[in-house]
Structure 1
Amino acid sequence: MEEETKLSIYKAARSIKQKENTLYNALRSIYEDSIFVGEISQLWPHLPLLANLRCGLWYSSKFHSTCYFKSTDGHTNNCSFNTSRLNLHVAHLAGQKGGCIIVDSTRRGKRFPDSMSKTIPIWTCVMNRAIRNYRKKFHDIDTSTKGDSNGYDQHNEITGGVSVDWDCSLHLPLWVSKTEKASIEERVEEWTERLEASGADISSLAVCLKKPLRPLWISQKTVIWLNEVPDHDSWDFTPIILVSASSSIGICQHRTTSEFSWNYIPGAGDDEESWARGLSPSLFWDNVYDIINSGPDVCNQKVADIIEKNRVYRAYRGENAPQITVKSLTPSSLSHEEPSVSSEILNLNIDMNRIKSSGDDSAISWLGSTNVSVGASHQLNFFWETSHCIFCCWKSTSISVRLSDKAYLHLPIATSKFDRFSILNNLPSAVSFAKLNLSKGRRLLVCCSNGEDISVCVCLAILTSLFDEEGKFDDGKWFNERRMSKWEMRRRLVYICKFATNARPSRGNLRQVFNFLIAPLLFPTT
């Protein structure tokens, strides 16, 4: 009887939550919070506005760029510094512009997510220490080369013409306990050494940043005297202004306007798969007033119509063409018969006369001097003009690309959330395809649905398997002569992230790449 009572209470609570977390409630909450974000960004209009993926991306239509600081890296008693998410482009941008504003949100009734309370403060501290250590190497250069003007110029370039005195303190918000702060400080030096050993480009940061990085926190409860807002140039540090978009109320709050009643949801942009119904942040902001003014009763239908209209428009442009079934090649058919890769593929011819290049290269990232690039599938029409061969690795087979004398391979790879072995099982085919084409001097594009996860993991396997430490194609000689370690794989990932700044591979997918790399006999690349 007690179990039935508990079950009924659970059902009732879940039913109430579902009624509160409607699509309109979420989108209206995001819109209301975006007004606050806009007000804060106007206080420092010259500082770039960045969205912390994924939740933060919903709260403005005018983001300069994105970043990826995970809250899990700042969880209590489990803090870490992850070299898979270095966000070096954020430090560079802050150095160039004199600071930046990062937007995120949280659902848990807190003022700030853990990404802002601890992950980013840890990141700024580690970056500052690595820069200080790098500058120390050149601190005595002006005394040892007093008569050498070239040496003095080099010193000024590296140190930015400023003193090597550099704030490396760990700046945490007041609500983080002293005990936890002490625990984090004990590990900062270890994380700094890890960053320095990862191969990250610290030298460019030392030149770019004139002042040390330091976080500041702003929420909807922050009191700001508008006539006393300091100019960002007046601070003796480079500000990383952390804006928590949502109110910190713990439960949904009922709100009423002259037209509609709705429930405010704090951190509504989080976990978009559970409520967005296929709507993206960009599509939301393109139609924001139509959606908000539609009201709760017709919001779902309005969003469905917008999504369908956008799908048809993209299909007309060739970005998402009508479904075409592409014959996918099994891993076994590619592992030992290299000619089958191209002969099967080149027999396919898909008309692309209606497709025009968008000219938008924002989603393509060439990895240094290699002939390998990573990108998103919606830019295939642009990629075609810059690549000799294309490898598509996403689950859907709804594609549209022109195939003539250029090699193309599609493998339906799923993320680890849906298939724990999908990447592992398909990597032999992917590496074989890459080896065949790269050995002929061709330029290779690896793309997935968003260019952030699966394609990055596939590129990681290709670069590690077929390139030496200097980034030169060696047909796998360097790889076959060494025993692979997680640290070496991380170094290669740091190299990729230097160019693909939106890369954010999941832990499960990276684990599959490592399992492939440590078992070359099970997964031969020739």
Structure 2
Amino acid sequence: MYHSEAKTKRIVFKGELGVFNRLQSIYHDSNFVEKVRESLYKGLPLIANLRCGLWYSEKFDAKVYFKSTDGHYGNWSFSTNRLNLHLLDIVNKFNGAIIVDSTRKGKKFPDSFSRTIPIWTCVINRVLLILKKQQQQKQQQEEEEIEWDTELNMPGWVSDSEKDQVENKVVNKFVNQLLECGADLSGFCKSVKKPLRPIWICVESILQWSDSIVNPEELKFHPLYLVSCSDNRREGHPSYRQYVQGAGDDEEQWSFGLTPQLFWSNHKEILAQNRDYIEDYISQLLLDSKINSIEIVDEISNENDDNNSNNNNNINNNNIDFGEIDKVGETNFYISDSLKCLNNKIWNKFDIILNCSEIIYKGIVNEEEGKDQVRKSNYLHLPIREGKIGKNDLFNQLQQAEDFIIKKLIENPNYKILIHSTTGKANCVSIIMAIITKYFLKYNNNNNNNNNNNNNNNNNNNNNNNKNGKDNNSEDDDNDDEEINESNFYFKFSNSPKFKVEKIDIKISYLFIEKYCSQSLPCKSMRLAVNKHLMSPKPSLVYKGYLKENKK
């Protein structure tokens, strides 16, 4: 029996590159990750480089996102949308970090490790040195020579020619981009005492015993151990046909909806399945794990009901698990993705709750007529799927979320607002970003004229872009050379929205969000949905019937 070429490829993919072999390979590679963690200096945090790296351990301490495409030859990029500045906080606290990723195609290291992170560390080191020297001048100190590594440290397998091109063409350009993008680096200038340096580890590396590993505190730099956990020696070897290098990559193509979290919660049962039945088992597991509703029993006394407004200075009491609740800067917005979080005691801590998960929390408000009217009016459920598949849900629900929250803030600007999801905080962050851009971002009076001029220039650029067929909602912020100065703007609630949102407004708000929610940033498709909502030609209305549209 003969098959077409396309069908033959599908059969081979399902057999050799299917979910069974991939999950077995992931588990095999995770053992190497654990070995590295135990061999290196104790206490170093384990960090996943999204998205592939998240599959290779069940115990990650944090996440970063360095894209391999930013390191492709001739296409070197430095994203101001993914600055990963929280990594500086982690490294400064623990004196180093272990970052995990994987790659396909027979390579030892992904481009994210060979190029993207080395370029990033070099840019960060040079920017910090510039800021430290500026600080010396401001304090009128004698200019002492600062011992600081600003070299571009790339691995030996990157050619000298490519390294020279990166050094001469792009690094200093990226330094200027970072200095001008408006990110708040002043705190890192003071706190980070040593430069960063990448160190590469793969399965061919010889790991010493942990008692002979140098304490990172004794080094003259903060080490970033870049662990490529897949074994390129096995790829294509006849003895290892079932092994898939970089098995966690492109999960949409093979995972059937399985996530790293769900895999590690059930990995023993999944790995014990027969090859022919593993897909059915995963489908049933997904069906069983999909919670449609949670029943909540009201254990709050009437006394506590009277104390639910603005008495929330301490968010760590009442026996609620608030470990997964994050405060967004100095605003009254909070985000959460913990199932344990949303119970009736939450009303002692927050005045307004927006549930944007797909789960219905039965009992969070009393649905009986005449009962619990305050809670009922202060709670809204807008089901939004997470990630790329939920981008249309997000766009369609943003206006209702905005109307609900703004109406409540007009009632009382001091309300504490919790935005909740269960599969991640990116939807929560997207909603907050839309609101703070339209209702919170303000420019100082002495800069209004400059801002108006910038807006006029942006309008002219937009008109030119339209003539050239460019989409104003597209993300080309990395090429925006407009300098952002933190002294020019601030965030304070206003009853009325901006008449027109400009790209510079979105960029400022995104930098604010990244500063406080760096591990919950929305993906590109979600950001585009927010941009489309914000830059719609027709200004959105506040709650229908509450504030009428201005008719010209």
Counterpart CA distance in 1 for 2:277 and 2:45 is: 36
- In the alignment, which residue of structure 2 is the partner of 1:492? 509
Structure 1 letter corresponding to 2:517: A
Q: Name the CA shift for 1:400/1:208 in 2 (closer, same or farther; >3 Å).
A: farther
Structure 1 residue 365: Cα displacement? 1.8
Task: Tell me: CA distance 1:409–1:36, structure 2 relative to 1, closer, same or farther (3 Å).
Answer: same
In structure 2, do the counterparts of structure 1 residues 303 and 83 end up closer, same or farther at CA, with 3 Å as the change threshold?
same
Pick from 175, 195, 198: which aligns with 2:157? 175
- Say which SS state the counterpart of residue 223 (structure 2) adopts: strand
Separation (CA, whole Å) in 2 of partners of 1:423 and 1:473: 23
**What TM-score comes out, normalization by structure 1 length?**
0.78
The one-character-per-residue Cα deviations of 1:184-236 (angstroms, maximum 9, x if unpaired) are 33222332233233332312212322110111111112244558644433432
Corresponding residue for 1:244?
A: 228
Does the 8 Å CA contact 2:322/2:341 hold for their aligned counterparts?
A: no
Q: In structure 2, how many angstroms separate the alpha carbons of the residues matched to 1:253 and 1:400?
A: 54
Q: Who is 2:201 aligned against?
A: 218
Distance 1:385 1:188, change over 3 A: farther
Match in the other structure for 1:280: 259
Deviation at 1:373, TM superposition (A): 2.1
Deviation digits for residues 342-364 of structure 1 (CA, Å, limit 9, x no counterpart): xxxxxxxx854499x98333432
Structure 1 position 96, deviation (Å): 1.2
Alpha-carbon RMSD: 3.2
Counterparts of 1:486 and 1:179 in 2: how far apart (Å)? Answer: 37
Does residue 428 in structure 1 map to residue 411 in structure 2? no
CA offset at residue 461 of structure 1? 0.7
Does 2:28 correspond to 1:66? no
- Report the residue type matching 2:15 in the other structure: K
Verify: 1:27 aligned to 2:6, yes or no: no
**Aligned: 1:458 with 2:458:** no
Q: Aligned match of 2:382 in 399, 405, 411?
A: 411
Q: Work out whether 1:402 is the aligned partner of 2:384.
A: no
Aligned to 1:159: none
Aligned residue in 2 for 1:198: 181
Which stretch shows the higher mean deviation, 511-520 or 457-466?
511-520
The residue number in structure 2 matching 1:392 is 355
Residue of structure 2 in register with 1:472 after alignment = 492
Which has the higher mean CA deviation after the structures are superposed, 48-57 or 439-448? 439-448
Deviation at 1:277, TM superposition (A): 3.8
Deviation sequence 1:17-61 (CA, Å, 0-9, x none): 111233332221111111111111122222111111222122122
Q: Distance in 2 between matches of 1:194 and 1:52?
A: 23
State the distance in 2 between where 1:400 and 1:191 align: 50
Q: Is the 8 A contact 2:49 2:101 kept in 1?
A: yes
Structure-2 change in CA distance of 1:65 and 1:360 (3 Å): farther
Shift, 1:514, TM fit: 2.3
Counterparts of 1:388 and 1:215 in 2: how far apart (Å)?
A: 46
Question: Which amino acid in structure 2 is aligned with residue 72 of structure 1?
Answer: T
Taking the TM superposition and a 5 Å limit, the aligned residue runs for 1:105-504 are 105-140=102-137, 144=140, 164-185=146-167, 186-226=169-209, 229-249=213-233, 251=235, 263-296=242-275, 299-300=278-279, 303=282, 321=293, 352-353=297-298, 359-376=320-337, 378=339, 381=342, 385-394=348-357, 396=358, 398-400=360-362, 402-403=364-365, 404=372, 405-406=374-375, 407-413=378-384, 417-418=388-389, 422-439=393-410, 440=412, 441-467=414-440, 468=442, 469-476=489-496, 479-480=498-499, 484-504=501-521
Distance 1:27-1:416 versus aligned 2 partners, 3 A rule: closer
Tell me which stretches of 4 or more aligned residues in structure 1 moved more than 6 Å.
Answer: none
**Structure-2-length-normalised TM-score:** 0.74
Once the two structures are superposed, residues 304-344 of structure 1 have per-residue CA deviations (whole angstroms, 9 ceiling, x without a partner) of: 66556655xxx5xxxx526xxxxxxxxxxxxxxxxxxxxxx
Is the counterpart of residue 10 in structure 1 residue 6 in structure 2?
yes
Matched residue type, 2:170: R
1:451 alignment partner, SS class = coil
Q: What residue ranges of structure 2 are gaps of 5+ in the alignment?
A: 301-317, 366-371, 443-488, 548-552
- The Cα offsets for residues 58-103 of structure 1, whole Å up to 9 and x where unpaired, read as 2122222222222232233222111221222211111111110000
**What is the letter of the counterpart of residue 203 of structure 2?**
Q
Q: CA 1:354/1:242 → structure 2, altered by over 3 Å: closer, same or farther?
A: farther
Percentage of identical aligned residues: 34
Contact 1:388 1:444 in 2 (8 A): yes
Task: Count residues in correspondence.
Answer: 462
Distance 1:421 1:176 in 2: 41
Cα gap change, 1:25 to 1:505, in 2 (>3 Å): same
Alignment-mate amino acid for residue 494 of structure 2: D
Counterpart secondary structure, 1:42: helix
Counterpart of 1:116 in structure 2: which amino acid? F
Measured in 1, the distance between the counterparts of 2:286 and 2:68 equals 30
Aligned counterpart for 1:511 among listed residues 509, 513, 528: 528
State the 1:457 CA deviation. Answer: 1.8
Q: Aligned partners of 2:145, 2:404: CA distance in 1, in Å?
A: 51
Q: Hey, what's the Cα distance between the residues in 1 that align with 2:299 and 2:106?
A: 50
Rounded to whole Å, the distance in 2 between the matches of 1:204 and 1:99 is 18
Query: Larger deviation: 237-246 or 13-22?
Result: 13-22
Offset at residue 15 of structure 1 (A): 0.9
Q: Give the partner amino acid of 2:108.
A: R
Q: Summarize the Cα distance change of 1:362–1:88 in structure 2 as closer, same or farther, 3 Å threshold.
A: farther
Which 5+ residue runs of structure 1 have no aligned equivalent? Answer: 147-154, 156-161, 257-261, 323-349
Distance 1:416 1:277 in 2: 15
Distance 1:201 1:401 in 2: 42
Measured after TM superposition, the shift of residue 370 of structure 1 is 0.8
Paired with 2:203 and 2:541, the residues of 1 have a C-alpha distance of: 56
Are 2:61 and 1:90 aligned?
A: no
